[in-house]
Structure 1
């Protein structure tokens, strides 16, 4: 999906709510990733906490992620309550990975007017945004600097997926999902993803993480929070 940034504004792109497509939340580049398009604005800074755990010595490079469902890691298809952490074997690209504690901390209903700066036009007519807040904590031994824990999508009452949006630029309602430099053991960050309910009468009631290794297209083995 191509995206174009414009100075001082955020631009949104609605992704099809189909299993397997990358429905991402708010993202932006940084100096060690692909640079943002010329003229695009930087993403809003998410809130972070940095409580180092000296019991582990982080290292950069390859992953230390265990297989799902082993050593306390979340099993494919496992469900959690909102606010409950899941230990997740995390992989980013081909050369980075580790172990994270992933927690959906809340799902907030927004206003239809929130979407005006994204200039979605008729594509978002009648839709209502929901903001899925989730925290990421590095509980492994590898440095996850500048990786991105996305693949978070909303769930509707009937279990189907809410519409997702990819955003480039600054959207004050929802922070980015890129992890900062020196994201080592014990570091944590709060992120956000946007999900769209099809109408004011329908709510986004849950969230699903469908990143590897929970991304089976056929078995729908994502982790869910409600």
Structure 2
């Protein structure tokens, strides 16, 4: 009887170890519902499933940051003096409707951060000809995807270490970060 109890305890411990480790991998953790845990760190090219709310719409999306590039200052000519001393940062990404709810017209925005993970303190309102933010007109089916570009900014001479997603419950204080 004692060996059966020992075997049962050992099996229970092994299962607990497997369950605790299955959702964590190198700085990123996946919650039980399949969404990326707040504070997770990813590399450009990696996909994060997140709960999403925009205006009065909500659902579940996947964000894959494809690239983070600094563009030439000439791209900010339309901003005139407001663009002085600033370089555009182009964040190209693919957005997927994972939940299947209608989130048409939703705007997904990421924020540029420096190498230390702090905001670049430059927010760009509107895109440039090289990076036009697109919002899907029909984004109501599970598996629907679209590619878009979000224009951020960095002070001339500054560096961009990555971008963050901080919308939604739990992500404001612990954003998901994609590092370059």
Q: Specify which structure has the higher proportion of helix.
A: 2
Matched, 1:79 2:41: yes
TM-superposed CA distance for 1:158, in Å, is 2.5
Partner of 2:141: 184
Question: In 2 relative to 1, CA 221–84 (structure 1 residues): closer, same or farther, beyond 3 Å?
Answer: same
TM-superposed CA distance for 1:126, in Å, is 2.2
User: Quick one: distance in 1 between partners of 2:139 and 2:36?
Assistant: 25
Structure 1: state its 5+ residue gaps.
1-67
User: Quick one: distance in 2 between partners of 1:178 and 1:214?
Assistant: 24
User: Quick one: distance in 1 between partners of 2:33 and 2:159?
Assistant: 35
Structure 2: state its 5+ residue gaps.
1-29
Secondary structure of the equivalent of 1:90?
strand
TM-superposed CA distance for 1:186, in Å, is 1.0
Tell me the matched-pair count: 149
The answer to whether the Cα contact below 8 Å between 1:149 and 1:177 also exists between their aligned partners in 2 is: no
Give me the TM-score of the superposition, normalised by structure 2: 0.75
User: Quick one: distance in 2 between partners of 1:156 and 1:108?
Assistant: 13
Secondary structure of the equivalent of 2:123?
strand
The one of the two structures with greater contact order (alpha-carbon pairs below 8 A, sep at least 6) is: 1
User: Quick one: distance in 2 between partners of 1:214 and 1:172?
Assistant: 34
Give me the TM-score of the superposition, normalised by structure 1: 0.61
1:92 to 54, 70, 85: 54
Larger of the two Rg values belongs to structure: 2
